């Protein structure tokens, strides 16, 4: 979750343009590794471990198992997808740490892409995150919140009716409104939800262990779904389709199977999202060179273990054919295991986790938009703080204060939040969770691939660049190969989502060109 002091996604407001008669000051592109950024360097490796855990673990482990199970031939294959997704996140986090310490500062991957490929790539990454990735994420979370409640009531509909979408819109509006109140409100709520999410995973794993131990003590008593001890975990089985039909995995070709696996992997990668924020942890560590790799190499494996264990629990608690039909696996599993009474409590915890994730993502999305507006990539109105349109609603008298100073004083980027809410609402109305997972994955991992490929290019182009964290070259190479394949095969397998994303990029490119011409006239 973002820090309570100031979000690391907020970039500095650019200085006033320098006239042709003035001499531009010299600026070093790469500062020293001891750069003092937004945050005070006072965290230990243990603090970094905890911070990464809180950033990455979210609602995905409770909601995306159904989408993953529907795209793999067996439960064992699903667990392997979760493992591969974790390894991909691990290699990516180490590479991002290399770039984050080589180019200390803020703004996520945008400054890296700008340095490696040029400004247009940094802009396109920001545009993609603001228009596609973050709104799709918020739409998914809003949908899962509603589906979790219905699942606790025993209602699992493959094609949710319009009422579900309307309730999802209501959740979205409430979250955006909460983030519009003040930065302090957002961050205080975020700290509370970190505790809730860890408690929820712990209770889920305890439930699965209970079923296993009870069955081990008495083979005639099974509190779970039954399939976990009577069927082979890696044997292909028919998948139940949304229309009630069955999909026979034995008839799938290798090329088709790779497409299904790519789609499944997007569900896992969404659950691991946040690993790219490893360099935000570096901003607060006392000795990043030693502590950052230690934090990553302990936190990410811990998360992988938690996710694989939690998903194994789903297959223990539920009949296997049920897993693929639900978008709220955790709630469905607890309902089946302990009944509706206890499931209501579990649903409450999981819904709190989802709301916490939604608040955090909405918080970040607003600041991403402000950062892009500060770079003149978007209209200045979207970078305004404490305003609705041009009408000021804040009590602050400093109307012209810089956006980052206003955010520090507790004001919110309301215009940016309104934009994000409108875009998220469109995704809710036009899509469903599983379609949006693929769209989200394509949007994110295309630029992650470019970023890590750029890190490899810089090893050759700028060998003397100071890199306080420098993982073995095979680590970024593994990420580039797997992510590149997943993006290409995923796009071919999901042409509609790929076409939507391509359309978003074309619009963004045209807007960049038109705005660039307009600013220079």
pLDDT band at 39 (very low <50, low <70, confident <90, very high): very low
Residues paired with 239 in a beta bridge: 247
In a domain, 433, yes or no: yes
Q: Please name the residue that has the structure tokens 């990420």.
A: 479
Q: How far apart are the first and last CA of the chain?
A: 41
pLDDT tens for 412-470 read 788 888 999 999 999 999 888 889 989 999 999 999 999 999 999 999 999 999 888 89
pLDDT band at 357 (very low <50, low <70, confident <90, very high): confident
pLDDT attached to residue 408: 45
Q: Does 184 score more than 70 pLDDT?
A: no
Two tokens, residue 52? 């990464």
The SS3 assignment for 10 reads coil
Name the percent of the chain lying above pLDDT 90: 33
In a domain, 295, yes or no: yes
pLDDT attached to residue 284: 64
| Domain span at 279 | 45-243+251-519
Q: How many domains is the chain partitioned into structurally?
A: 1
DSSP class of 108: T
pLDDT attached to residue 392: 61
Residues paired with 392 in a beta bridge: 387
* Mean per-residue pLDDT of the chain: 80
Give the CATH number for residue 193. 1.20.1740.10
pLDDT band at 499 (very low <50, low <70, confident <90, very high): very high
pLDDT band at 342 (very low <50, low <70, confident <90, very high): confident
Minimum mean pLDDT range among 150-164, 342-356, 404-418: 404-418
Between 43 and 460, the higher pLDDT residue: 460
What value does the mean pLDDT take over residues 319-333? 84
In a domain, 12, yes or no: no
Q: Does 92 score more than 70 pLDDT?
A: yes
Q: Kindly give the pairing relationship between strand 391-392 and strand 246-247.
A: unpaired
Minimum mean pLDDT range among 31-40, 137-146, 280-289: 31-40
Minimum mean pLDDT range among 4-13, 102-111, 134-143, 463-472: 4-13
In a domain, 127, yes or no: yes
What value does the mean pLDDT take over residues 65-72? 91
Between 182 and 265, the higher pLDDT residue: 265
In a domain, 17, yes or no: no
In a domain, 171, yes or no: yes
In a domain, 16, yes or no: no
Q: Does 34 score more than 70 pLDDT?
A: no
CB 312 within 8 A of CB 208: yes
User: In this structure, how many other beta carbons lie within 10 angstroms of the beta carbon of residue 256?
Assistant: 12
pLDDT attached to residue 3: 37
Cα–Cα distance for residue pair 427/407, rounded to 1 Å: 28
Q: Which candidate, 411, 362, 399, 13, places its Cα nearest to that of 175?
A: 362
Q: Which candidate, 520, 514, 455, 518, places its Cα nearest to that of 93?
A: 455
CB 441 within 8 A of CB 269: yes
What value does the mean pLDDT take over residues 57-63? 82
In a domain, 40, yes or no: no
CB 446 within 8 A of CB 133: no
DSSP for 328-395? -HHHHHHHHHHHHHHHHHHHHHHHHHHHHHHHHHHHHHHHHHHHHHHTTSS-GGGG-SSEETTEE---
In this structure, what is the dihedral angle of CA atoms 289, 291, 297, 299, given to the nearest 10 degrees? Answer: -140
DSSP class of 277: G
């Amino acid at each position: 979750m973002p820090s309570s002091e100031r979000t690391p996604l907020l970039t500095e407001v650019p200085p006033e343009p320098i006239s042709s008669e003035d001499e531009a000051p010299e600026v070093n592109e790469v500062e020293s590794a001891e750069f003092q950024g937004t945050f005070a360097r006072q965290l230990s490796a243990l603090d970094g471990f905890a911070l990464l855990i809180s950033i990455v673990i979210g609602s995905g482990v409770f909601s995306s198992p159904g989408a993953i199970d529907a795209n793999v031939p067996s439960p064992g294959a699903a667990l392997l997808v979760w493992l591969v997704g974790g390894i991909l996140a691990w290699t990516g986090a180490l590479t991002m740490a290399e770039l984050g310490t080589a180019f200390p500062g803020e703004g996520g991957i945008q400054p890296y892409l700008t340095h490696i490929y040029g400004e247009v790539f940094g802009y396109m990454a920001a545009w993609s995150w603001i228009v596609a990735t973050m709104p799709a994420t918020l739409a998914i979370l809003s949908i899962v919140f509603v589906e979790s409640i219905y699942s606790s009531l025993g209602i699992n509909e493959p094609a949710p009716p319009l009422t579900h979408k309307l309730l999802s819109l209501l959740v979205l509006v409430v979250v955006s409104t909460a983030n519009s109140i003040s930065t302090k409100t957002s961050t205080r709520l975020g700290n509370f939800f970190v505790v809730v999410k860890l408690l929820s995973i712990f209770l889920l794993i305890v439930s699965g262990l209970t079923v296993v131990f009870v069955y081990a003590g008495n083979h005639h008593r099974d509190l779970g779904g039954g399939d976990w001890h009577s069927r082979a975990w890696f044997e292909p089985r028919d998948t139940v389709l949304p229309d009630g039909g069955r999909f026979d995995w034995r008839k799938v070709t290798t090329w088709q199977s790779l497409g299904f696996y790519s789609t499944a992997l997007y569900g896992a990668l969404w659950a691991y999202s946040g690993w790219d924020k490893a360099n935000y942890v570096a901003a607060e560590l006392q000795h990043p060179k030693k502590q950052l790799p230690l934090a990553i190499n302990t936190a990410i494996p811990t998360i992988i273990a938690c996710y694989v264990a939690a998903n194994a629990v789903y297959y223990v608690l539920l009949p296997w054919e049920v897993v693929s039909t639900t978008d709220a696996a955790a709630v469905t599993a607890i309902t089946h295991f302990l009944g509706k009474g206890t499931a209501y409590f579990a649903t409450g915890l999981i819904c709190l986790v989802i709301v916490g994730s939604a608040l955090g993502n909405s918080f970040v999305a607003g600041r991403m938009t402000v950062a892009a507006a500060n770079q003149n990539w978007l209209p200045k109105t979207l970078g305004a703080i404490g305003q609705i349109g041009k009408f000021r609603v804040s009590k602050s008298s400093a109307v012209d204060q810089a956006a980052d100073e206003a955010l520090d004083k507790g004001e919110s980027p309301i215009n940016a939040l309104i934009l994000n809410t409108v875009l998220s609402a469109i995704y809710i109305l036009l899509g469903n969770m599983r379609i949006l997972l693929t769209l989200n994955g394509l949007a994110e991992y295309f630029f992650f691939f470019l970023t890590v490929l750029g890190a490899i290019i810089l090893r050759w182009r700028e060998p003397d660049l100071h890199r306080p964290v420098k993982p073995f070259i095979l680590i970024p190479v593994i990420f580039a190969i797997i992510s590149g394949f997943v993006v290409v095969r995923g796009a071919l397998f999901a042409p509609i989502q790929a076409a939507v994303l391509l359309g978003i990029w074309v619009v963004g490119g045209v807007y960049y060109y038109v705005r660039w011409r307009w600013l220079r006239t």
